Amino acid sequence: MLVADYLIAVWLVGRSTFAEAVAGIDRLHLLIWTGLIGLMGSGTLLEPDLATVTARVKLGLVLVLTLNGLQAMLLSKRMKAAAGVLNMRLLAWGAITTIVSQGCWWGAMWIGFITASARS
């Protein structure tokens, strides 16, 4: 997801067009979904203690991340259909999608790090 944020930053500073940024992000979907599957798989292999609040919060973050990813695919299709025309509604939707995604990714990673450190 950081690459998607980078592509938007490049567009914001005028070094690419909106259509180029959206096309680049569209190509990242497979990589992003692979990362999510890896996160879920590694979390399952670590056999989390579902009785703990942190494990349940992390599962909640991963669920929100998955749902956010599904709606992000719809957003991507809408942005492609806009053919590079700047639409404030789509940009706001994209900003919210990014904030939710980053919050979930970093939250889940932070919880995993803290949990692993506590076990050591």
State the residue range of the domain holding 100: 29-119
Tell whether 111 is covered by a domain.
yes
Tell whether 101 is covered by a domain.
yes
Could you give phi then psi for residue 34, rounded to 5 degrees?
-65, -40
Tally of CB atoms within 10 A around 116: 10
Tell whether 74 is covered by a domain.
yes
Tell whether 5 is covered by a domain.
no
Question: Minimal CA–CA distance to 59: which of 1, 111, 119?
Answer: 111
Q: What is the pLDDT along the chain (120 residues), one digit of tens a residue?
A: 678 888 888 988 999 988 888 888 888 888 888 988 887 888 788 778 889 898 899 889 989 999 998 998 898 888 888 876 778 898 899 889 989 988 998 998 898 888 877 776
The helix (run of H) or strand (run of E) holding residue 85 is none
Tell whether 20 is covered by a domain.
no
Tell whether 2 is covered by a domain.
no
What local confidence, expressed as pLDDT, does residue 2 receive?
A: 73
Tell whether 16 is covered by a domain.
no
Domain count, the chain: 1
pTM for the whole structure: 0.78
What local confidence, expressed as pLDDT, does residue 84 receive?
A: 65
